[in-house]
């Protein structure tokens, strides 16, 4: 490679690395040594490089930049797994490549060449360890492209991967985005691998049920003292959904059996173990200023791709929302349609007004709330279309004078948070109840101007925010907010792609615990008949929960589906 071309190539590598990391002062050095906060160290550049070698070098540089961007040097993960980091490096490479390829799709080409070369070298040298095999399985689970040699290795060494490790890949893949959950996942990986994390011996894992911190056991337990009506926001679960547990024994039933039934009902009754760690926040508080800036660029590009569709849907929606609504007749008019009951006035009256005209009014006094599932399964196209579609609908409704609120719901952590730790510290009392910390997000308040809320819709694209979903309590939260509005009519639309899932709660309660509470909450809201409740399922049959529901197969159908739901109410 001639000197000028070599310098141009090195400059291209440097500019790309600075763009990816967001650090305009970052330096790239070639040779030996470790990367530092201010520079990335890459292997020496060969004197002569083929096109394939150039692509491999780009892949090496892009991966190094992704590690810098998506894996902070002082991360909790690195601190607690330092001695075992070599066992986890292949898994982390997969994670940062997945995140990086979503934000910088142009990097996929170089990474593909790099992964092919690495796989070929490993196979030739016979160095295909379990960590590397599991990293290939993770790639496959995340639908990332596999180089041909990677596919060959997976096929050849499939029998060398234990059943426990295969189960780990399936179970923990959804939890890789959150650092604390990923740390728990990696500790389980090291346990299955049969190696000890020496760093962890000095600081016990607070997620372990056996090693609960001593101070937690002595904490006073603040039991949730609210009544079921308060927990449900003054909307109690529908008692018709459950068999009534009688307090007095029925004929042929002794008091012991009756007491057992009453105790069983108490065990199955929905409650939160504690609500002290639950959080309601505005979307922009969940991301850093730098991350929000990046997400706004991404959101702007997504909106560009739907510009023609947005104009079409907005026009259709406005046509229906602003059309006069016929409400009856205005009588005794000097012109209009002849009123048959006033025919005699034409003969006997000196000032006849025998006509009538339709009485009309503009759009009814209405408020709309949209509740978006922010669970991990919404990651990718579903959450992108949810952000674009709810932004479009909120803008259009605002033009029509309809206040619109956009909310989101998820949990603060994977697999239980501080609520679960408190339950463990209290000695795991029963009945258990919900064991994760809820996170309810306000993307746009009903009276907030749309122009001020645009950044919030961009924040909906933040992957780190998408975790688990406790639908019942979240639905009741949105219902309470909407039901305090003064508008005559209230509409609540739920967007979801799956059933309620919270690992910690599901693990320690009866089967279908969250599912049953969601059904109770829906029936209670529908029975009160104060809010028009409807749902849109993305690839998920929500008709099993909601009476008024629509199922779409592809996330790109969400915009038209939302408009169709609204139009159907006013057509």
Q: How far apart are CA 435 and CA 470, in angstroms?
A: 10
Chain length of the chain: 571
Which has the higher per-residue pLDDT, 79 or 117? 117
Nearest to 478 by CA among 233, 143, 128, 198: 233
Residue-wise pLDDT tens digits, 354-383: 666 555 454 557 899 999 999 988 888 889
408: helix, strand or coil = strand
The two tokens of residue 16 are 């790309």
Torsion from C-alpha of 81, 87, 88, 90, nearest 10 degrees: 160
The two tokens of residue 7 are 């310098």
Q: How far apart are CA 27 and CA 14, in angstroms?
A: 7
Alpha-carbon distances of 301 from 226, 241, 276, 295, rounded to whole Å = 46, 46, 39, 10
Q: What is the pLDDT of residue 105?
A: 87
Residue-wise pLDDT tens digits, 147-162: 899 998 888 888 888 8
Which has the higher per-residue pLDDT, 223 or 166? 166
Whether residue 156 has a cis bond before it, omega within 30° of 0:
no
Alpha-carbon distances of 257 from 265, 268, 350, 431, 510, rounded to whole Å = 12, 17, 86, 19, 20
User: Was domain 280-317+364-570 assigned CATH 3.10.450.50?
Assistant: no
Q: Which residues pair with 532 in a beta bridge?
A: 491
Tell me the range of 331-335, 433-437, 549-553, 554-558 where mean pLDDT is highest.
433-437
Query: Which single residue is written with the structure tokens 């083929």?
Result: 50
Alpha helices in 34-107 (DSSP H): 51-70, 76-80, 85-103
In the chain, residues under CATH classification 3.40.50.410 are 280-317+364-570
CA angle (343, 346, 351) in 5-degree steps: 130
CB atoms within 10 A of CB 365: 15
Nearest to 563 by CA among 310, 317, 294, 326: 317
Residue-wise pLDDT tens digits, 399-425: 777 899 999 999 998 888 889 889 988
Which range has the worst mean pLDDT, 70-84, 90-104, 280-294, 426-440?
70-84
Contact 422, 356 (CB under 8 A): no
Nearest to 443 by CA among 531, 383, 371, 496: 371
Strands (DSSP E) contained in 398-545 are 404-411, 438-444, 489-496, 532-538
The two tokens of residue 540 are 């998920």
């Amino acid at each position: 490679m001639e000197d000028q071309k070599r310098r141009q190539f090195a400059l291209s590598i440097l500019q790309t690395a600075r763009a990816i990391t967001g650090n305009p002062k970052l330096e790239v050095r070639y040779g030996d040594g470790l990367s530092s906060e201010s520079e990335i160290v890459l292997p020496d550049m060969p004197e002569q490089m083929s096109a394939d070698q150039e692509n491999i070098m780009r892949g090496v540089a892009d991966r190094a930049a992704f590690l810098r961007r998506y894996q902070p040097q002082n991360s909790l993960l690195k601190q607690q797994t330092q001695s075992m980091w070599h066992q986890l490096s292949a898994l982390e490479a997969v994670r940062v490549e997945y995140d990086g390829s979503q934000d910088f799709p142009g990097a996929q080409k170089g990474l593909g060449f790099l992964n092919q070369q690495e796989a070929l070298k490993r196979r030739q040298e016979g160095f295909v360890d379990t960590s590397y095999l599991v990293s290939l399985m993770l790639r496959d689970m995340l639908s990332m492209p596999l180089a041909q040699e990677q596919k060959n290795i997976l096929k050849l060494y499939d029998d060398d991967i234990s059943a426990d490790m295969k189960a780990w890949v399936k179970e923990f893949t959804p939890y890789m985005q959150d650092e604390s959950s990923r740390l728990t996942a990696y500790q389980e990986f090291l346990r299955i691998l049969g190696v000890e994390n020496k760093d962890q011996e000095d600081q016990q894992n607070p997620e372990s049920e056996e090693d609960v911190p001593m101070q937690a056991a002595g904490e006073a337990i603040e039991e949730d003292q609210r009544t079921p009506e308060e927990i449900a926001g003054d909307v109690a679960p529908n008692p018709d959904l459950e068999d009534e547990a009688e307090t007095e024994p029925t004929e042929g039933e002794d008091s012991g059996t009756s007491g057992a039934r009453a105790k069983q009902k108490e065990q199955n009754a929905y409650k939160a173990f504690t609500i002290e760690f639950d959080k309601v926040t505005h979307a922009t508080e969940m991301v850093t200023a730098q991350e929000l800036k990046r997400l706004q660029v991404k959101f702007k590009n997504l909106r560009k791709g739907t510009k023609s569709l947005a104009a079409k849907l907005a026009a259709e929606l406005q046509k229906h929302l602003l059309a006069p609504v016929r409400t009856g007749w205005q009588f005794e008019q000097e012109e209009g349609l002849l009123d048959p009951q006033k025919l005699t006035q034409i003969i006997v009256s000196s000032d006849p007004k025998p006509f009538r005209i339709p009485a009309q009014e503009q759009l009814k006094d209405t408020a709309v709330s949209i509740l978006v599932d922010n669970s991990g399964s919404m990651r990718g196209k579903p959450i992108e279309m949810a952000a674009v579609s709810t932004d479009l609908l909120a803008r259009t409704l605002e033009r029509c004078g309809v206040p619109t609120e956009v909310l989101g719901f998820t949990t603060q952590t994977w697999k239980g948070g501080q609520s679960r730790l408190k339950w463990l510290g209290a000695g795991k009392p029963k009945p258990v109840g919900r064991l994760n910390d809820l996170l309810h997000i306000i993307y746009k308040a009903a009276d907030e101007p749309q122009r001020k809320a645009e950044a919030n819709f961009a924040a909906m694209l933040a992957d780190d925010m998408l975790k688990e979903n406790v639908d019942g309590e979240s639905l009741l939260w949105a219902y309470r907010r909407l039901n305090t509005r003064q508008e005559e009519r209230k509409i609540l639309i739920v967007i979801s792609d799956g059933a309620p899932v919270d690992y910690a709660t599901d693990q320690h309660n009866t089967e279908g615990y969250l599912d049953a509470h969601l059904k109770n909450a829906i029936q209670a809201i529908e029975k009160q008949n104060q809010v028009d409740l409807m749902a849109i399922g993305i690839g998920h049959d929500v008709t099993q929960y909601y009476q008024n529901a629509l199922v779409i197969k592809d996330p790109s159908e969400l915009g038209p589906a939302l408009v169709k739901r609204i139009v159907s109410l006013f057509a």
